Amino acid sequence: MISPTAEYALRAVVAIAQGDGAPVVTPILVEMTKVPSGYLPKVLQTLRRAGIVNSKRGFGGGFTLARDPDQISVLQVVNTVDPIKRIEKCPLGITAHNAALCPLHKRLDQAAEMVEKSFASTTIADLLTNDKSPNAPLCKPANPITLNPPPSKD
């Protein structure tokens, strides 16, 4: 349905939102989201350039959301890293189908439209508070994680 990159971005944004405004450092995000450590920084930088997250280097730094979780839609996050692809013309290049898609491609596009609408109407805040699920938004680790651990004294 969505690419691994889009899911990684959603995991990261939800994990950051769980920090209640406190900066979350990349190693903690890697542990919380299970996104490969070599790939997560690239996803985070894409989200930063799009204005979804902020980053701050150094002591007390990390990633925070650029806006409140109820102001960021799932669609905004997904479209930032890997936009949902709609079918506007025949993928087979049949020019007669460009005016009206064939039944297969029309249904596929309708499904993409439904996903788009669902993602547009769902905010990150919605993912944090689901009254119908006993589960937390992301798996809680066995050992509590400090979102922004103090620097080591080495």
DSSP string, 96-134: GGSSS--HHHHHHHHHHHHHHHHHHT-BHHHHH--TT-S
Q: Is residue 144 part of a domain?
A: no
Q: Is residue 141 part of a domain?
A: no
Residue 50 structural domain: 4-128
Q: Is residue 142 part of a domain?
A: no
List strand residue ranges (DSSP E) for the chain, in order. Answer: 53-56, 62-65
Q: Is residue 63 part of a domain?
A: yes
> What residues contact 113, with CB distance under 8 A and at least 6 apart?
86
DSSP 10: H
Sole residue written with tokens 């699920």:
133
In tens, the pLDDT along 115-151 reads 999 999 999 999 987 656 666 666 554 444 555 555 5
In tens, the pLDDT along 100-110 reads 889 999 999 99
Domains in the chain, number: 1
Q: Do residues 75 and 117 touch, judged by C-beta distance below 8 A?
A: no
What CATH number has the domain bearing residue 52?
Answer: 1.10.10.10
Count CB atoms within 10 A of the CB of residue 3: 13
Q: Angle between the 40-49 and 74-81 helix axes, to the nearest 10 degrees?
A: 110
Q: Is residue 116 part of a domain?
A: yes
Percent of the chain with pLDDT over 70: 84
In tens, the pLDDT along 32-50 reads 999 999 999 999 999 999 9
